[in-house]
Amino acid sequence: MRKLMPGTAEHPAGHTRTRCALLLPRALFVLAFALFVLAIVAVSIGSPNRLTTGPVSEAAVCTALAVAPVAVVGEAVRQRRRRALNRADTSAATAQRVLLRPLPGRIGDLRLRGTYLPARTAPRSGGDLYDAVRSPYGTRLLIGDVRAKGMLAVEASAVLLRAFREAAYEEETLSEVARRLEGDARRHIARLPGAETPERFATALLVEIPSGPVARVVHCGHPEPLLVRDGRVRVCPPERPGAPIGMADLVGAGHAVHTLPFRAGERLVLYTDGFTEARDAAGRFLPFAERVAERAAAPLDDLADGLRADLVRHTGGELRDDAALLAVERVPG
């Protein structure tokens, strides 16, 4: 969920430390094994005198014999840690998929399609979410990105989804729905251990689509929706940006509702930054809006499937952050 300028490099500190911690025992293991083999060769082809006067000294042999067991233990620890990280990441991704219940293909005059891809680099999965609720005030949509990873992100996602599903049906205005999410997020954050709360927020986008030809949007620090109209794609920035969920009180920002035209045949594409900040092997960002424009005339399911395929192809399948997308189309009557 970090905002990166195109052309800059991303080197998450935690991820770098984890890689170093995993690679160090392996390097030590390889070095010790090489020394150990060299020592055995020296012992097998030379005399005790050669051990002290030849190219391989007795001290080197002793060092190899001492370091080798330590390296073997270190390699075993590294392998165990890697398996544990992979299990944790898989568990988080699986739990997140369970939270993201399948969207209905249609609500009233709206077609909907959602998709979610977990990260492949542990421990990055978990945190992206979406949902749709049919309420007395219109169809209400949520897409969000929790500023956490792993099971902490899954837990926070569950809190926000539960709050949204209740508030979206009960509250008369979209700003009140956002207020409910803010309140639940603050209560959840207050229960977290101190070590886990340096980054305590989620970005979100709330959308309400009533029966009339409009859509109402509340921005909570989230990437702007894309409006597809007559085959062209337009970014819909807010008139007044809102604060992320969990930070509204800190920055003194309210939850302003913005209205935009949304007529029959038009589409809204909501997404997380797992799409827009995805990089290829050369460090280039995925040109997400361009990809949406290229697929603007495709059926809604093909649009979502194609954008998913574009992301996987661009990253070579190695996603560094999870990604979610929710596409909605107003069907002509």
| Architecture of the structural domain at 103-330 | 4-Layer Sandwich (3.60)
**Exposed / middle / buried, residue 156 (Cβ in 10 Å: 0-12, 13-18, 19+):** buried
Provide the whole-model pTM: 0.72
Res 22 pLDDT > 50: no
How much is the pLDDT for 84? Answer: 43
> What does the DSSP assignment read for 49-80?
HHHHHSSS-HHHHHHHHHHHHHHHHHHHHHHH
pLDDT over 70 percentage in the chain: 65
**Packing angle, helices 150-170 and 58-99, rounded to 10:** 10
How much is the pLDDT for 8? Answer: 35
55-108 tens-digit pLDDT: 545 555 555 555 555 555 555 555 555 544 444 445 555 665 567 889 999 999
**Packing angle, helices 13-45 and 58-99, rounded to 10:** 150
Question: What b/e sequence results for 120-139 when a residue is b if at least 16 CB atoms lie within 10 Å of its CB, and e otherwise?
Answer: bbbbbbbbbbbbbbebebbb
Distance CA 187, CA 200 (A): 11
Contact between 20 and 81 (Cβ < 8 Å) = no
**What number is the average pLDDT over the span 173-179?**
95
Distance CA 28, CA 5 (A): 37
Residue 279 is given by DSSP the state B
Of residues 197 and 150, more confidence is placed in 150
Residue spans of the domains in the chain: they are 13-92, 103-330
Helix residue spans in the chain (DSSP H): 13-45, 48-53, 58-99, 150-170, 174-190, 248-251, 273-276, 288-294, 300-315
How much is the pLDDT for 17? Answer: 42
231-241 tens-digit pLDDT: 999 999 998 88
